[in-house]
Amino acid sequence: MIEKAKQFAEKAHQGQKRKNSDTDYIIHPIQVAATLKSAGYREEVICAGYLHDVVEDTMYELADIEREFTKKVRDLVAAHTEDKSKSWQERKQHTVDNVRMGSLEVKCLIVADKLDNLLSLEKDFERDGDALWKHFNAGYLQQKWYNTSIAENMTKGITSGDIPEFFHVYQETVDRFFQK
């Protein structure tokens, strides 16, 4: 099922590029899935890593995810999918709320995604400086609020022994990037 999810995501994101880059978009879901796989998560979570942006950014819908995969994969993707009809602030607050109240698997999917996004943002900032922000719907201060809010809420309801290592990496990345 994991290979099928990767192939589905590759097809769905074909031709898409990352913001502020000519990098193929599929690199991002591949890295998110790799983070989840390295942390030892089960097949459905890794599949959701590949598929997490499919509904948000392509023609596919949640019903397609459920039909091709499982209800569990669909539910994980649904928990991560933003409603693009809402404002940036409303969408991001919804994600912060999902990180605070979600299951460990939902938290992991979101944090793996945000970690990869922030690492990419950090590289882009090193290259472009403040000009980077013109490519985004939100500038430095809004991005700082969003990422620090994710970091502040990601461990809520998790015992310290169950916190994945990549959560610590995300916290370190947030601290490093937004201390500038």
Spatial distance between the Cα atoms of 42 and 23, rounded to a whole number of angstroms:
28
Catalytic site includes residue 57: yes
Q: How far is CA 120 from CA 13, 125, 128, 171, 180, in A?
A: 18, 9, 12, 15, 16
Catalytic residue (choose from 10, 24, 43, 57): 57
Spatial distance between the Cα atoms of 18 and 103, rounded to a whole number of angstroms:
28
Catalytic site includes residue 24: no
Is 2 within 8 Å of 47 (Cβ atoms)?
yes
Catalytic residue (choose from 10, 24, 43, 56): 56
3-state secondary structure of 41: coil
Phi, psi angle pair for 24, to nearest 5°: -60, 135
> Annotated catalytic sites, by residue?
56-57
